Amino acid sequence: MKEVFKKLKKACEEAGYVKKGDRKAGMPFNPLLADDVKQTAMEALLKNNLYPICNYITDIKDNFLIVTCNMNIYDVDNPNEFIEIKGCSGLGKLDKYGTGNGITYAQKYAFLNALNLKTGIKDEDGFEASPFKNNKPVTQLKVVKDNKTLPDTKALADDWIDKMTKQAEHSVSQNSYEKGMQPLRENYAKELQQISIDLMQQARVDGVENTLKKQITNRRK
């Protein structure tokens, strides 16, 4: 058996768990912070003379992007030996923060996947890590959505898009559109916060609103 597998097994046993962060308003579960995951993982890896190097692939869609992290964990004592952690992905918006957000999320789950890190509590978001067994480096994450606890962000987004569309139909300018939307945003604040948690639905909402604003501008020409 390769020495790198023995080292990663030892790192998994020493890593312990990552404590989840505090739940914020609108969140259906306690967040697992990327910095906490990285710190716990790196301490265990470096202690066992292992070092991770990531390669990222970005796939740009119509209204969002997908960043995939492929992580190689190298044996510092013998760099020819390494373990591949492939296919951990994260979503991001099509803005200046999107790529960074996608990288952060994808890397977080690559570390979780590699070390099978636990959170110390029965988590509400469905992540159930199994122990590191039989010297196998990777087990796939299972993310299960519990429809009883998670908000239906698609339905919320559909409803909000309908409100935006109706307001746009009666707006003669972007200024009048914004004035009409302001009270709607205030009344729909809780739902908008829930939509923002789902990056894909938020990207869809942003894309529709950009299209509606362009249509309003074009009507004036």
Position with higher pLDDT, 146 vs 85: 85
Beta bridge mates, 78: 75
Average pLDDT over residues 135-157: 52
Same domain? For 107 and 180 the reply is no
- Are 98 and 10 in the same domain? yes
Same domain (yes/no): 178, 111: no
Residue 107 sits in the same domain as residue 158: no
pLDDT bin (cut points 50, 70, 90) of residue 120 is low
User: How much of the chain is helix, strand and coil, in % rounded to 5?
Assistant: 50, 20, 35
Q: Position of tokens 């569309």?
A: 165
**Is residue 134 included in any domain, yes or no?**
no
Among 8, 34, 5, 40, residue whose Cα is nearest residue 117: 40
Residues 87 and 187 in one domain: no
Same domain, 17 and 85: yes
Asked if 11 and 107 sit in the same domain, the reply is yes
pLDDT tens readout for residues 58-106: 988 888 889 999 999 999 999 889 999 988 888 888 888 889 989 999 9
In a domain? residue 144:
no
Residues 167, 84 share a domain: no
The verdict on pTM exceeding 0.85 is: no
Within-domain flag for 159: yes
Q: Would you say residue 124 lies in a domain?
A: no
pLDDT beyond 60 at 135: no
pLDDT of residue 143: 34
Least confident of 56-65, 131-140, 151-160: 131-140
In a domain, 80, yes or no: yes
Kindly state whether residue 147 falls inside one of the protein's structural domains: no
Asked if the structure places residue 111 within a domain, the reply is yes
How far from the centroid of its chain's Cα atoms is residue 111's Cα? Answer: 13
**Residue 137: inside a domain, yes or no?**
no
More confident position, 37 or 122: 37
pLDDT tens for each residue of 161-217: 999 999 988 888 888 889 999 999 888 888 888 888 777 788 888 888 888 888 888
Question: Are 108 and 172 found together in one domain?
Answer: no
Count of the separate structural domains present in the chain: 2
Statement to judge: residues 159 and 104 lie in one domain: no
CA distance 40 to 45: 9
State how far the alpha carbon of 36 is from the alpha carbons of 33, 40, 97, 140, 172, in Å: 5, 6, 20, 21, 49
More confident residue, 121 or 205: 205
Last residue of a domain, which of 115, 136, 161?
A: 115
Torsions phi, psi for 57 (to 5 deg)? -120, 125
Q: Are residues 8 and 89 in the same domain?
A: yes
Taking the C-alpha atoms of residue 193 and residue 25, their distance in angstroms, rounded to an integer, is 8
The answer to whether the CB of 130 falls within 8 A of the CB of 142 is: no
Where among 91, 115, 139 does a domain terminate? 115
Asked if 14 and 109 sit in the same domain, the reply is: yes
Domain encompassing residue 197: 153-219
Q: What is the DSSP string of 144-184?
A: ---TTTS--HHHHHHHHHHHHHHHHHT-SSHHHHHHHHHHH
